[in-house]
Each structure stands twice: as C-alpha cells, then as structure tokens.
C-alpha cells in the first residue's frame, strides 16, 4: 500500500473515530435528547430500515443495469417485489400492534361494579378560571382524583424557562358547592413538562431514568396534607424489537417545593389515576383485533366510541375516572358496536392505579342479557331527560345537561345546571325501561317522569302530586312552589298546542 493510500485510510478512520466519540458523548451528556431520538427511531424503524434496504437494492440494481450485468434485471424484480411487500407491511404493522394489546382484554357478561357519583368533569373544568384569583398563569388539563374527591389543575408560570406556579384543587361535593384551595410551588421547583431548557421537567426525569417517556395529558397534580404540591407523571417504555409496543414504567413524582424527583416502580400511596390514560386508550381500542386480521381489516370486530357529535359526552366520553364504594379507582368507558350503532353495548373497566410495570388487564362487560340489557344511546337518553323535565329547562333557561356517567351495570347519572353551577341530577336505567328520576343535589328524589304524570315535589312522598292546581288567575306571590310548577306546565302545554295547530 502506498503512502498516499495509507494516509487516506488513516484520515477516514480518524473521521469515523471522531463521529463515534461525538455520538457516544451525545448519549452520555444528553440523556433527555438522546432518549427522545431513540424513541423516535424505534417508532419509525419498522418502515425506515426496510426502506433504506430497498433504496440500496434499487441503487445497486441501477448500477448493474447500466453496466449491462446480468444480475441487474433479477435484482430490479426483487426490489419491486420488496417495495410491494413493504407497503403491505405498513398496513399489517398496525394490526400486529393491536394483536399485542388485545391480549390484555377479557370479555365477560358479569355486571360492572358500582361507581360513586361525582361532579361533572366539564363543570369542574369551567370553574377553574373563576377560582384562580389573581394568579397570572396558564392552566393545563384538569384531572379527577377520587381519593380526595377533588379536581386538580396545574397552573404554569409564564416565562421562557419557568415551571409550575400553583396547583388548584376543587372539591365539588354532591351538593354542588365548590371548595377551592391552592398549594403553591416553591422557587427550587422550576421545571414543568414541556418547559424550555433548564425549565423542562422531562430533562429532570430522563436524567434520573433514561429510555422512559410519558404523555403530558396523563400527568396531574396532587397536594399532600402538609400543603406540598406534587406532579405525578405516569411513565411508559417501549417493548419489543420487530413489533414495538408500550407498557408502564412506573411513575415520576416531582416535589413542588424542593424540586426533587423520585421514580417509583408502582404508585403505592399515591392518589389519583396513576395508570397512563393514553396507554389505557390504546389497549381499549385494540378490541378491533380480537377476531383476527380480516375482521380487523373490514371493521367487523370489537367496539368503539359512539359516533355522536352532539352527545353530552362528546368532549369527554372515554376513560371516566370513577371511584367505587370500597375506595377502588376505575377507568370506565361506555362503547358501541362498530358500524352505525350508537347504543351502548359494553362497558370497559380497568384499574386506574398502577400496580406493576406491566400492562393492566381490561374487563369488557358485555350488555344484552335479560338481566343487563343494552343501553340506549347518550343522545336518546338526553332527549328523554329533556322531554320529561322540560319544565326545569323552562325555568332555568341557561341550563343544560352535563356528563352522562355510569353508576352501575344498568344505571347512569346526569347533571342539569350551568357551566358554573349544578342544579339537579337525573338518574335512570340505561335501556330507558323506566322513567328517569329528577333528584336534588342532596340526594332527595323529587319526581320520576314528566309533570303531566307526577308533580314536582320538594317534600312529602316522592312522585306524588302535592297541593291543588293553581287557579288560572291569581297572585303569583301567594302560590306554593307546586302550584307555580303546575301553572308553568299548563302554559307550556298551551303553547305546544298553539304551535301544533297554528291557532291562537
């Protein structure tokens, strides 16, 4: 080998060594960015590596054909066949991922457990701003913490590399009264998820533990009895080589006073939904793959969220965070059969608490038996509520219906009120075999069915008419509440008659 050749070889080796040192150094000194790049690469290599191989094959085939080599045509044919297989692999890969997650689903006809009643999520989220006072921050998503029956909202501090400013907790009882409280973050805790540079909580987490990631929507805040705010970040990690899936990787607990970070393998002693909600959603949606590839392709198998754009649950219709009477926490989702159906045919239930770094099982409670019939759609139920309790909406013109949530295998609860205030609750059966009942916020049943059948009563026997009908002409100040309701009903019926007949 000549001196010039040896010099060129040494130069190439030196450049390779420099590149290797830079790459290794980057992974050593930049745990956050190296982790994020590694995640992106692993999420992409199912299509990226085969594409690179095909590109090399196509280049070699082109050079061979240009030189008139016999193997050029065969390699070209092989490249074309590989490209077709690559497109097919892109399609099959999504099914292969679902096939992994669907192993965590168990279908049963056993009834779902009982769930406690809580305030509607949308009402609680609407009350955040009015309870912040003069805090000059920006709110993040609100999370329900069943242990304390509170809705917790993290508030970001404004600035370039700033952390969280405060944690707002709203305790909204069944009476509708809001009891807000705050616990502020200290100067030492200057990081938040999605922050910049040294204010990025993700950098802190990956410095403590590499190769784990998270979904910002899964994180939430919690204030301990001593008034210290904590940020709970459910962690996930990638699993597999050919088929890449995700599984829990513990939780990161960020102290809002000291800025300390602790990574735990489970969530023992930590209140709230510590299982990643985004991962629970992936597992639930994998029901589409439960009957094999072709049923997955043609959309035959599994269940999905009802396609009801005007549903009262359209903004929050999956992974309800609900508590059981025994203190258990669940993620509950009503679902319909795939296609045009909107009736609720299953309720999926899973544990909301992270207990191990493995995928948690999901129980799919199938409805449709004589004991537990299929539910009507959310729209059908809300239409029935409006029809039965039209007098309530006539009296409270700004009111609406919020959050239809399950309370058992056959029962549900909805709330009537405004975004800032709850007025009544309505309970009923999912199949609407019986009239829904209007219930006060203190739990007193006022009536079941429309006013034409049963008078609205604030006392006495629930569901029984109370008092004589209101005279056609009388001093309104002398009428009882039941007589006022009766008068309102008669006015509504007369207006409906005139609209229908076009008369006076």
**Residues 419 and 172 sit within 8 Å (Cβ to Cβ):** no
* Cα of 404 vs its chain's centroid, Å: 15
* pLDDT tens per residue across span 29-67: 689 999 999 999 999 999 999 999 999 989 888 888 877
DSSP conformational letter for 245: E
Query: Each residue of 237-256: b (16+ CB within 10 Å) or e?
Result: ebeeeeebbbbbbbbbbbbb
Q: How would residue 492 be classed by pLDDT, with cut points 50, 70 and 90?
A: low
What is the per-residue pLDDT across 274-327, written as a single tens digit (0 to 9) for each?
Answer: 999 999 999 999 999 999 999 999 999 999 988 765 566 655 678 999 999 998
d(CA 366, CA 19): 57
Residue with tokens 């892109």: 90
More confident residue, 351 or 6: 351
> Using one digit for the tens of pLDDT, what is the confidence trace for 391-448?
888 887 788 898 899 999 999 999 998 877 888 999 999 999 999 999 988 888 899 9
The alpha carbon of residue 136 and the mean position of all alpha carbons in its chain are separated, in whole angstroms, by: 27
At residue 454, does pLDDT exceed 50?
no
Q: What is the mean pLDDT of residues 206-233?
A: 94
Q: How far is CA 220 from CA 134, 254, 283, in A?
A: 22, 11, 21
Report how far Cα 59 is from the mean position of its chain's Cα atoms. 47
Q: Where are the domains of the chain?
A: 20-107, 121-281, 378-501
Structure tokens belonging to residue 402: 């919020």
């Amino acid at each position: 080998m000549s001196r010039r050749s040896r010099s060129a070889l040494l130069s190439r080796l030196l450049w390779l060594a420099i590149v290797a040192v830079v790459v290794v150094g980057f992974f050593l000194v930049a745990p956050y960015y190296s982790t994020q790049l590694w995640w992106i690469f692993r999420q992409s290599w199912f299509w990226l590596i085969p594409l690179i191989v095909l590109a090399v094959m196509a280049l070699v085939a082109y050079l061979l054909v240009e030189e008139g080599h016999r193997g050029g045509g065969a390699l070209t044919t092989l490249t074309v066949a590989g490209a077709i297989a690559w497109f097919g692999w892109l399609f099959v890969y999504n099914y292969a991922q679902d096939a992994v997650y669907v192993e965590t689903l168990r279908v049963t006809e056993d009834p779902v457990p009982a769930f406690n009643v809580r305030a509607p999520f949308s009402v609680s989220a609407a009350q955040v701003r009015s309870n912040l006072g003069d805090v000059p921050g920006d709110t993040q998503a609100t999370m329900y913490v069943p242990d304390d029956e509170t809705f917790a909202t993290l508030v970001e501090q404004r600035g370039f590399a700033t952390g969280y400013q405060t944690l707002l907790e709203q305790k909204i009882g069944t009476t509708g009264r809001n009891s807000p409280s705050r616990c502020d973050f200290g100067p030492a805790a200057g990081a938040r998820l999605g922050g910049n540079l040294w204010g990025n909580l993700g950098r802190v987490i990956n410095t403590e533990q590499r190769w784990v990631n998270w979904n910002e929507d899964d994180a939430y805040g919690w204030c301990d009895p001593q008034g210290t705010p904590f940020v709970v970040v459910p962690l996930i990690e990638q699993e597999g080589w050919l088929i890449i899936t995700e599984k829990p990787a513990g939780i990161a607990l960020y102290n809002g006073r000291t800025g300390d970070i602790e990574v735990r393998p489970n969530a023992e002693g930590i209140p709230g939904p510590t299982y990643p909600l985004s991962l629970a959603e992936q597992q639930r949606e994998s029901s589409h793959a439960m009957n094999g590839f072709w049923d997955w392709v043609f959309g035959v198998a599994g269940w999905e969220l009802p396609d009801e754009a005007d549903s009262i649950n359209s903004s929050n219709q999956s992974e309800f965070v609900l508590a059981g009477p025994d203190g258990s926490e669940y993620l509950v989702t009503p679902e319909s059969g795939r296609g045009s159906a909107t009736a609720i045919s299953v309720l999926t239930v899973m544990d909301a608490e992270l207990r191990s770094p493995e995928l948690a099982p999901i129980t799919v409670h199938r409805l449709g038996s004589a004991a537990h019939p299929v539910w009507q759609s959310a729209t059908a139920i809300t239409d029935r509520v409006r029809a039965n309790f039209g007098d309530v909406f006539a009296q409270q013109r700004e009111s609406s219906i919020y959050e239809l949530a399950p309370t058992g295998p056959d029962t549900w609860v909805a709330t009537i009120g405004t975004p800032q205030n709850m007025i009544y609750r309505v309970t009923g059966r999912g199949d609407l075999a019986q009239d829904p009942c209007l219930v006060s916020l203190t739990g007193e049943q006022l009536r079941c069915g429309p006013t034409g059948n049963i008078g609205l009563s604030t006392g006495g026997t629930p569901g029984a008419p109370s008092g004589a009908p209101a005279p056609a002409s009388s001093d309104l100040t002398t009428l009882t509440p039941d007589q006022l309701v009766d008068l309102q009903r008669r006015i509504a019926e007369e207006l409906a008659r005139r609209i229908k007949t076009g008369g006076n």
